[in-house]
Amino acid sequence: MDSTFRTEAFAGRGDFQAAYSQPWHTRDGAPLLIRPMGEADVSLLRTFVRSLSHESRYRRYLSPRTPSDEEIRRWASVDLSHEYSLVAVDGDNGGELVGEARYVIESAGEAEFAIVVGDRWQHQGLGRELMDRLISAARHDGVCRLTGIALSTNQPMLDLARQLGFRFSRASGAAWETTLSLDLDTSH
């Protein structure tokens, strides 16, 4: 897919933030707002990333490192010509960011996804909701396949991917990571 198509598809959405911002409730009833990420989210994203436990950072970044401020600024500056990012925000706590999912187009029709949910918000259905919305946006934008990498020990992510219909594979010599792949043109 070329970036002209994506730019036109996004431009045709009108007020992008408003159109794709929708309330949602966790399993325990907590109200969240799920919306596209924007440049104004840098400080929220920085606070969120730094609040993740060692284990959650390791699962998301495949290392225990804390991303740099430069990386965080880049992630918040979503280039709609080849990427898309959703955030979940807890309005009851002053707009605290509690989860994020994104995809980046790597080649024609294929995008790599990533997701992270804050520790105290895990097991509340938020990962599933973010992935459902991310998959829907990817389909809308003409992405034919989503791929991602998860640690082979990240059972919650593997369980979610299985529920969503992803295929699993492992590269020879890389038993610690599992590649996840979902064909969007044939999935439901």
**pLDDT tens, residue order, the chain (188 aa):** 333 334 444 444 434 455 578 999 999 999 999 999 988 999 999 999 999 998 988 888 878 788 889 988 998 989 888 899 999 999 776 689 999 999 999 888 899 999 999 999 999 999 999 999 999 999 988 999 999 999 989 999 999 999 999 999 987 777 789 999 999 974 44
Quick one: how far is CA 170 from the chain centroid? 22
Question: How many CB atoms are closer than 10 A to CB 152?
Answer: 14
DSSP class of 71: H
Amino acid identity of residue 5, one-letter, is F
Look up the CATH architecture of domain 3-183.
3-Layer(aba) Sandwich (3.40)
- Residue 59, CA distances (Å) to 51, 85, 110, 151 in order: 14, 18, 22, 6
Q: How many residues does the chain have?
A: 188
